[in-house]
Amino acid sequence: MANSFTRLISGRNTAVLLASLGAGTMATGYLLSENSSLAAEAKKMLYPPSSDFPDLRKHNNCMASALTPAIYARLRDKVTPNNWTLDQCIQTGVDNPGHPFIKTVGCVAGDEETYEVFAELFDPIIKDRHNGYDPRTMTHPTDLDASKITHGVFDDNYVLSSRVRTGRSIRGLSLPPACSRAERREVERVVVTALAGLKEDLAGRYYSLGEMTEREQQQLIDDHFLFDKPVSPLLTCAFMARDWPDARGIWHNNEKTFLIWVNEEDHTRVISMEKGGNMKRVFERFCRGLKQVEHLIQERGWEFMWNEHLGYVLTCPSNLGTGLRAGVHVRLPKLSKDQRFSKILDNLRLQKRGTGGVDTAATGDTFDISNNDRLGKSEVELVQLVVDGVNYLIECEKRLERGQDIKVPAPIAQFRK
Amino acid sequence: MPFGNTHNEMKLKFTSEQEYPDLSKHNNHMAKVLTPAMYEGLRSKQTPSGFTLDDVIQTGIDNPGHPFIMTVGCVAGDEETYEVFKELLDPVIEDRHGGYKPSDKHKTDLNPDNLKGGDDLDPNYVLSSRVRTGRSVRGFCLPPHCSRGERRAVEKLSIEALASLSGDLNGKYYALKNMTDAEQQQLIDDHFLFDKPVSPLLLASGMGRDWPDARGIWHNDNKTFLVWVNEEDHLRVISMQKGGNMKEVFNRFCTGLTKIETLFKERGHAFMWNEHLGYVLTCPSNLGTGLRAGVHVKLPNMSKHAKFEDVLKRLRLQKRGTGGVDTAAVGGVFDISNADRLGFSEVELVQMMVDGIKLLIEMEKKLEKGQSIDDLIPAQK
């Protein structure tokens, strides 16, 4: 019956017809139509945005704080040039009401254009997450000149290891929540080809997750390099684990101090690390490696996603700007028991995590200490901030060892307006 | 949501070969059937609501295989999926449902009077009896694909229909997102509460989205008839009770289902059904009757016998642990149910199960006495 109906009215003006006959019964008929654009029109009438608005009453994340029925109504039927939708951006925030201690972001980008097409939602989220940074009016500084870092070598008696990480996205290919298998494989191809061009202390090898041998896998686990299929619902609800382990892999240099994850939460995650406290050298290698990789992909006509308002564009809005987390594993047995510890960290714009990463608690006296901020300050500024902050923490620890008192430092200013 | 999958158009920029999934380590029905040529032929299609081939098969790509059971590896997003993607789904159905052909017709029989016996399963062995099925409401997308608005509409319809049930079927609806702690605990104690799926088979197909919005449980006051709303299917309908009176369970099942169907029809909504596939559900494994009739039964001796698996196969029965499909049996107590869903009517399936359980108990009793069961081994049904 639906088919004959469709034939009968083909060529008529759909909107007039729907309006004149009343959306309800007519729409049900159209739903059975083989013509998908007719069906889509019918659905829009049967299900206005208000019927689809998510129930966020028990939610505590940036998306739930920012999304209103009015914003949803304006954005629901929009698509990015890759046909990514608002519902897909926010699905992870709808499915994960919130963490009691950490306010999660609750939305992801499917492509570079997400941040523009859905700016009405993403701009307030960026402001909320990044200390009031306004992408409409402010510009983000990029600075990868490691020579500017001062006092960047820590006391090895306290700092066990130093690490800097960031992410980079390849312009023109969809991000992990949205990418098709072909796109993901293309990201892998572009990146692995470029990395093969690295030389000397950066020369290394790629291990595809799907093809590595048991022995290679064990070695990568022992080196603490291996990443596995995401289990966090924050990531799986954002569609990032599809087709695992297709086109995922790990590249690292022979010296095991420069490491790149391919197609995990971002197109690439770039990590420089070593044992001990030489953060300056870690950052120097980080910057050199990043610049060389960028040069190698540019030779082949590719570039990273970047713009002057958002800096480097990544999947999660929390990683915009520098995408940089610079940190150390540091022993602070006395300071960590001092009740001023949290306040000191806050004022230094540092955060503590357990040594297992973001979802872990600290064991014993060793902490992962790193920068809070990502956007609005350059890489050099953030690393210097971590360097100065960690030096201060070590100084406090030494003073407490000597029975001396410590001071809570004045709060560091946020980015220049 | 723009109710269409224009995202698929973007993928067509790449060749079929570039998009084809790596199924080299996979063991599920979808992986057995899908070929590069088939993928190429189907990848540009979509159902009227925008469900595409990649949507159908994503769960099978993300879940290479299950240790105990050969999984299906594909799902439907709406009723039309089974038509638009028949080139893939017909062979999957044939493989899963014992050679069921695209031209075959499925018989529906929900007349409980046609069941012979079944009220006399030995309660010393049979701890509980249960029959479940699913139903989909025509005109709405299925759980992998539905929008929040559609899911809520299905819930609203279900609540209205179920509220009209009376007598032995008088009951109450508990929305998952509103229930009190006390209600939740009671439902857990009754073994009624379903929680957000954790199985990656379900999550990878998109069924867990927006949990617990528009999900809920309805049950009658006697706690013998239960309906799940918006879990893996629009509706899952369950009749159960302790002991071995499967006839009573099946009576209530048929009566309740028929009443619910009438109530939905009165509100202008039919269940998804056609004469080839029977009742249309999310997973191809549940087509036809969608019916799983089973018992929790003590078979400590029989289960250790070398011929146990073979006997089950001949009887067209399957075993599971008492925790459900993803569990192993504990303490010699098994969940034994019909293996088939499509190509046999509801009455036929329950009859086979009832007859089969009777035989298994007879064998168990013989083994207890140290006697042989060789002369009881049945022919293949």
Confidence band (pLDDT; 50, 70, 90) for A18? very low
- Whether the CB of A32 is below 8 Å from some CB of chain B: the reply is yes
Residue B333's pLDDT is 93
The verdict on A218 and A334 lying in the same domain is: yes
Confidence band (pLDDT; 50, 70, 90) for A359? low
pLDDT higher than 50, residue A163: yes
Count the domains in chain A: 2
Give a yes or no: residue A412 inside a domain.
no
The verdict on A373 and A254 lying in the same domain is: yes
CB contact under 8 A, B61 and A84: no
pLDDT higher than 60, residue A72: yes
Residue A36's pLDDT is 60
Confidence band (pLDDT; 50, 70, 90) for A42? confident
Please, are residues B90 and B287 in contact by the beta-carbon 8 Å criterion? no
CA-to-CA distance for B171 and B173, rounded, in angstroms? 7
Among A14-23, A97-106, B93-102, B272-281, the range scoring the smallest mean pLDDT is A14-23
Residue B197's pLDDT is 83
Confidence band (pLDDT; 50, 70, 90) for A226? confident
Quick one: residue A337, left, alpha or beta (phi over 0 = left, psi -120 to 50 = alpha)?
alpha
Residue A3's pLDDT is 43
The verdict on A193 and A116 lying in the same domain is: no
Residue closest to A258 by CA, chosen among A296, A285, A229, A227: A285
**Where among A78, A104, A130 does a domain terminate?**
A130
Confidence band (pLDDT; 50, 70, 90) for B367? very high
The verdict on A122 and A266 lying in the same domain is: no
Cα B112–chain centre separation? 20
Residue A34's pLDDT is 52
Show Cβ contacts of residue A190 under 8 Å, excluding neighbours closer than 6 positions.
Answer: A170, A297, A300, A302
CA-to-CA distance for B144 and B147, rounded, in angstroms? 9
Q: What is the CATH number of the domain that holds A226?
A: 3.30.590.10
Tens of pLDDT along A131-144? 999 999 999 999 99
pLDDT higher than 80, residue A30: no
Q: What is the mean pLDDT of residues B359-380?
A: 95
The verdict on A203 and A306 lying in the same domain is: yes
pLDDT higher than 50, residue B41: yes
The beta-carbon neighbor of A77 closest among B2, B10, B50 is B2
Range of the domain at A389: 146-402
The beta-carbon neighbor of A39 closest among B48, B61, B149 is B48
Q: What is the mean pLDDT of residues B199-205?
A: 90
CA-to-CA distance for B320 and B287, rounded, in angstroms? 20
Residue A21's pLDDT is 41
Show Cβ contacts of residue B162 under 8 Å, excluding neighbours closer than 6 positions.
Answer: B171, B173, B218, B227, B260, B263
Beta bridge partners of A261: A250, A269
The verdict on A178 and A53 lying in the same domain is: no
Residue B247's pLDDT is 97
The verdict on A79 and A200 lying in the same domain is: no
Tens of pLDDT along B217-253? 999 999 999 999 999 999 999 999 999 999 999 999 9
Confidence band (pLDDT; 50, 70, 90) for A360? low
The verdict on A199 and A115 lying in the same domain is: no
Q: Which residues of B touch A84 (CB under 8 A)?
A: 7
Residue B68's pLDDT is 67
Angle at A18 between CA A81 and CA A22, to 5 degrees: 130
Cα A346–chain centre separation? 22
pLDDT higher than 80, residue A17: no
Distance from CA of A36 to the nearest CA of B (A): 4
Confidence band (pLDDT; 50, 70, 90) for B84? very high
CA-to-CA distance for B343 and B354, rounded, in angstroms? 18
Residue closest to B364 by CA, chosen among B322, B316, B309, B305: B305
Which single residue is written with the structure tokens 């201690």? A101
All domains of chain B, ordered by start, with CATH? 6-97 (1.10.135.10), 112-369 (3.30.590.10)
The verdict on A104 and A168 lying in the same domain is: no
Mean per-residue pLDDT over chain A, rounded? 89
Give a yes or no: residue A35 inside a domain.
no
In A308-365, beta strands by DSSP E: 311-312, 325-331, 350-353
Structure-model confidence comparison of residues B187 and A69, the more confident one: A69
CA-to-CA distance for B64 and B28, rounded, in angstroms? 7
Beta bridge partners of A288: none
Please, are residues B127 and B298 in contact by the beta-carbon 8 Å criterion? yes
Please, are residues A129 and A317 in contact by the beta-carbon 8 Å criterion? yes
CB contact under 8 A, B61 and A51: no
Cα dihedral value A214, A216, A219, A225, nearest 10? -110
CB contact under 8 A, A180 and B19: yes
State which amino acid sits at residue B71: T
Give a yes or no: residue A373 inside a domain.
yes
CB contact under 8 A, A52 and B1: yes
CB contact under 8 A, B1 and A94: no
Give a yes or no: residue A315 inside a domain.
yes
pLDDT higher than 50, residue A413: yes
Confidence band (pLDDT; 50, 70, 90) for A13? very low
Residue A415's pLDDT is 65
Give a yes or no: residue A32 inside a domain.
no
Distance from CA of B318 to the nearest CA of A (A): 31
Tens of pLDDT along A165-209? 999 999 999 999 999 999 999 999 999 999 999 999 999 999 999
DSSP-based three-state secondary structure for B292? strand
- Whether the CB of B333 is below 8 Å from some CB of chain A: the reply is no
State which amino acid sits at residue A90: I
pLDDT higher than 60, residue A22: no
CA-to-CA distance for A216 and B279, rounded, in angstroms? 49
- Between the two ends of chain B, the Cα-to-Cα distance in Å is 49
Give a yes or no: residue A155 inside a domain.
yes
Angle at A232 between CA A228 and CA A237, to 5 degrees: 110
DSSP-based three-state secondary structure for A250? strand
Tens of pLDDT along B322-358? 766 656 777 789 999 999 999 999 999 999 999 999 9
Q: Would you state the structure tokens that stand for residue A184, as one six-digit string?
A: 């993901």
Q: What is the mean pLDDT of residues B201-221?
A: 94
Among A3-7, A174-178, A309-313, B337-341, the range scoring the smallest mean pLDDT is A3-7
Show Cβ contacts of residue B82 under 8 Å, excluding neighbours closer than 6 positions.
Answer: B76, B89, B277, B280, B284
In B94-176, beta strands by DSSP E: 126-135, 171-175
Please, are residues A165 and A270 in contact by the beta-carbon 8 Å criterion? yes
Return phi, psi of residue B174, to 5°.
-120, 105
pLDDT higher than 70, residue A78: yes
Distance from CA of A333 to the nearest CA of B (A): 40
Q: Which of residues 185-244 of A touch B (CB under 8 A)?
A: 185-186, 210, 236-237, 241-244
The verdict on A341 and A288 lying in the same domain is: yes
pLDDT higher than 70, residue A6: no
Please, are residues B79 and B49 in contact by the beta-carbon 8 Å criterion? no
Q: Would you state the structure tokens that stand for residue B5, as one six-digit string?
A: 């999958």
State which amino acid sits at residue B179: M
> Beta strand B235-242 with B126-135: parallel, antiparallel or unpaired?
antiparallel
The verdict on A275 and A379 lying in the same domain is: yes
CA-to-CA distance for B311 and B379, rounded, in angstroms? 9
Residue A2's pLDDT is 41
Angle at A379 between CA A374 and CA A381, to 5 degrees: 95
Give a yes or no: residue A409 inside a domain.
no
Confidence band (pLDDT; 50, 70, 90) for B167? very high
Q: What is the CATH number of the domain that holds A63?
A: 1.10.135.10
CA-to-CA distance for B217 and B55, rounded, in angstroms? 28
Give a yes or no: residue A10 inside a domain.
no
User: What DSSP letter does each residue of B64-109 carry, written as one string?
Assistant: ---SSS-B-----SSTTHHHHTHHHHHHHHHHHTTT--TT------
The verdict on A111 and A246 lying in the same domain is: no
Residue B325's pLDDT is 60
Distance from CA of B322 to the nearest CA of A (A): 27
Helix axes A379-401, A279-299, angle to 10 degrees: 160
